[in-house]
Amino acid sequence: MKNKLIYLEKLSGRIICILLLSAIVINGLKAQAPPRMVFQREPVVVSPEILKDHRVTFRLYAPEATEISISGEWMEYGNAEKMARNDTGLWTYTTAPLPEELYGYSFAVNGIKAIDPNNAQVKRDGARYENFFIIPGNQSNLYVINDVPHGTLSKIWYDSPVLSMQRRVYVYTPAGYEGSTSRYPVFYLLHGGGGDEDAWSTMGRTCQIMDNLIAQGKAKPMIVVMTNGNANQSAAQNDIPFAQDQGMAGMVSYAGKFEESLVKDVIPFIEKNFRAYNDKDHRALAGLSMGGGHTVTVTTENPNTFSYIGVFSAGLRSIDPQAPDAAKLEKERDARLEALKNSGYKLYWIGCGEDDFVKESSDYLRKTLDRLNFKYTYRESSGGHSWANWRIYLSEFAPLLF
């Protein structure tokens, strides 16, 4: 049989895929007739290539570029390294051996960021897109889709009377949820500034981490609810683009509203529409950075709502002793924390990187809790204010729940 070749796509002079005509049309409709589909690629540039010693080689075919650099999360923040061009126009760069981790990276071609066309793995951070790869290891294998039972990720909308809009929330339900009649505990997980409801499931690898921890018997099956903590947004900006004044600047007028909405809108919605337990011993709340601030606020203002509390890369701001009402503010704050303490929570978990720029306020949170004999667990990691740490915190916090 002779097949006509159809060139489906040609991009930048490179044939992306070749489709045999008989893929689309059907030859004779024989029972069991193979669809006679053959896709093939030209010999491709492999990038990134993870070498056996965990060095990584990046390659980009760019004969017309005059300068290309690469920046990646294994470098000092803000750094970049020049790539080297050979005489065919192929640019390459090889790292030193890298520790196990998920690393983002991007190329800059004559000063403009470019995605690696040979790596389909891309993550979004706000409006920025960049590639990533994973150096395998015990910890980073939690970030991979392994051959274990998988939970479901649902993008679902709820009415928010507090915020007067429909809003989108991502809900992870563990493997087995669909076929079960059981109720499940619920873990509410909050993102940081610049993030949205998409962040924990993409950069945070929540579904992979939960699937793997549950499959290993290290975490209990639970529902994980990932909200959008920007109270002026109904959904992530890549799905509902916002004008500049509707963006983060617009959040000022919504101050405190997300925290209120979490308790009044989100929790009732989840407990109505999912098979969720509805008592505090089956509710956990954690957040990173801004979401850690949300967590501190929500749990102290609603002391009988969550028994498990996680504050990642966030803290407490010291009260200016010069302020006219400093003593009164401190007393009120202490009273709220005392109320939370006396409510009978089961876990108050604080995680912070030793180089995190919020370390001082995280320390101040612990000092305040110490002064009030408020028990907590503290985890200090290396590094700073990064998703690398937040993935680790999630993977250590989730096994302590329920």
For its own copies, the binding residues in 363-402 under the rule CB under 8 A are: 364-365, 385
The residue from 70, 109, 267, 309 that contacts its own copies (CB under 8 A) is: 109
List CB contacts of 144: < 8 A, sequence separation 6 or more: 134, 136, 208, 212
The residue from 55, 155, 183, 220 that contacts its own copies (CB under 8 A) is: 155
The residue from 75, 156, 372, 400 that contacts its own copies (CB under 8 A) is: 156
Q: Which is nearer to its own copies, 96 or 252 (CB)?
A: 252
The residue from 52, 66, 88, 321 that contacts its own copies (CB under 8 A) is: 66
Q: Which is nearer to its own copies, 312 or 402 (CB)?
A: 312
Say whether residue 263 binds its own copies (CB under 8 A).
Answer: no
The count of C-alpha atoms lying within 13 angstroms of the C-alpha of 210, restricted to the half-sphere facing its C-beta, is 26
d(CA 45, CA 127): 27
Segment 361-370 long-range contacts (CB within 8 Å, at least 24 positions apart): 361/314, 361/315, 361/316, 361/317, 361/318, 362/311, 362/313, 362/314, 362/315, 363/315, 364/315, 364/316, 364/317, 364/318, 365/296, 365/311, 365/314, 365/315, 365/316, 368/316, 368/333, 368/334, 368/337, 369/337
Say whether residue 121 binds its own copies (CB under 8 A).
Answer: yes
Q: Which is nearer to its own copies, 223 or 402 (CB)?
A: 223
Q: Site residues for its own copies, window 165-184 (CB under 8 A)?
A: 166, 168, 175, 178-179
Q: How many residues bind its own copies (CB under 8 A)?
A: 121
Q: Site residues for its own copies, window 264-323 (CB under 8 A)?
A: 272-273, 289-290, 292-294, 296-297, 300-301, 313-317, 319
**CB of 180 vs its own copies, minimal distance in Å:** 11
Selected range binding its own copies among 154-162, 276-284, 345-353, 393-401, rule: CB under 8 A: 154-162
List CB contacts of 71: < 8 A, sequence separation 6 or more: 78, 79, 80, 81, 105, 106, 108
Whose tokens are 């066309």? That residue is 117
Q: Which is nearer to its own copies, 259 or 265 (CB)?
A: 259
